[in-house]
Amino acid sequence: MDEQITPQQDNLEFNNRIPLEDLKNAVDQIKAELQKVIVGQDQFVELLIVALLADGHALIEGVPGIAKTVTAKLFAKVLKTDFSRIQFTPDLMPSDVLGTSVLNMKTSDFEFKKGPIFSNIVLIDEINRAPAKTQAALFETMEERQASIDGTTYKFEAPFMVLATQNPIEQEGTYALPEAQLDRFLFKIKVDYPSLEEEIKILDTHHQRQGKQPQTLISPILDAEQLAAFKEKTQAILVEEKIIKYIAELVSKTRNHPHLYLGGSPRASIAILNTAKAFAAISGRDFVIPEDVKKAIAPVLNHRIILTPEREMEGMTTEQVIDIVVQSVEVPR
Beta strand segments in the chain, E: 58-61, 79-80, 83-87, 99-104, 109-114, 121-125, 146-149, 152-155, 161-166, 187-190, 222-223, 260-262, 306-307
Fold of 30-222: Rossmann fold (3.40.50)
pLDDT at 2: 42
Answer yes or no: are the C-beta atoms of 56 and 186 closer than 8 Å: yes
* Residues 6 or more apart whose Cβ sits within 8 Å of residue 285: 10, 14, 16, 20, 237
Classified as helix, coil or strand, 13 is: coil
Classified as helix, coil or strand, 171 is: coil
What is the per-residue pLDDT across 35-69, written as a single tens digit (0 to 9) for each?
888 888 889 999 999 999 999 999 999 888 888 88
Q: Round to whole Å and give the CA distance between 201 and 199.
A: 5
Task: Mean pLDDT check: name the lowest of 69-83, 117-131, 159-173, 256-270.
Answer: 159-173
CATH class of 1-18+236-333: mainly alpha
Q: Could you tell me how many residues make up the chain?
A: 333
Instruction: For the full predicted model, state whether its pTM sits above 0.85.
Output: yes
Domain map (residue ranges) of the chain? 1-18+236-333, 30-222
pLDDT at 196: 93
